[in-house]
A and B are shown apart, each in its own frame.
Chain A
Amino acid sequence: QQQVKQSPQSLIVQKGGISIINCAYENTAFDYFPWYQQFPGKGPALLIAIRPDVSEKKEGRFTISFNKSAKQFSLHIMDSQPGDSATYFCAASRDNFNKFYFGSGTKLNVKP
């Protein structure tokens, strides 16, 4: 059973638009939720992360929204740029410094 479910599988957005990727989890013991960005042939790179004691975290054009009661969290990319075209993975872990459970990924294509 997949611990973290991610949608959509792929996303096409116009330059300057908002990209939204959603993730849902079941295990209420999860206490750390990162988002990773991966370009073809590269390893995942940490983008932004949140803990369940806050509902939103913003870093530049990237924002995580977290809904603890719904067990959902999402990544918003404002003013999307062609350079943002990559695959994005959400993840979750519990008990601090434990392994990550990753979502299945969202391939984002930002059209110029």
Chain B
Amino acid sequence: DTGVSQDPRHKITKRGQNVTFRCDPISEHNRLYWYRQTLGQGPEFLTYFQNEAQLEKSRLLSDRFSAERPKGSFSTLEIQRTEQGDSAMYLCASSSTSGGYNEQFFGPGTRLTVL
């Protein structure tokens, strides 16, 4: 399967702990996006990269959140000092700017539960 993969699929943590999620995009895709989805809502944009450059960050992305894409391939999203309000599905998507259309392909997501 050459789709977008995310790891872990589920994470349960205690409030105050740090967590890190990984996303592996489709191999030839140069754009990588992170979204957050809470129950019953549509995904909300967090940040995106073109190659290794982080081009935009949402105001939703507080100082406790940091994302990297060090070699322009996989990306990590870290949440420090987790809070119960961080509980959500974290989705990664990728796209290729050579395709002509903004077709973002999503991974299965990482479901975070903060106790």
Contact = CB atoms under 8 A, between A and B. Distances in A.
Interface string B48-66: 1000000010000000000
Contacts of B56: 99
B102 A44 contact: no
Contacts of B20: none
Given A49-B101, A97-B95, A97-B102, A102 B109 contact: no
Contacts of A34: 102-104
13 contacts: A6-B42, A34-B103, A43-B107, A44-B91, A44-B106, A46-B104, A46-B105, A51-B101, A93-B102, A99-B33, A99-B45, A100-B102, A102-B44
Interface of B: 4, 31, 33, 35, 40-45, 48, 56, 91, 93, 95, 97, 101-109
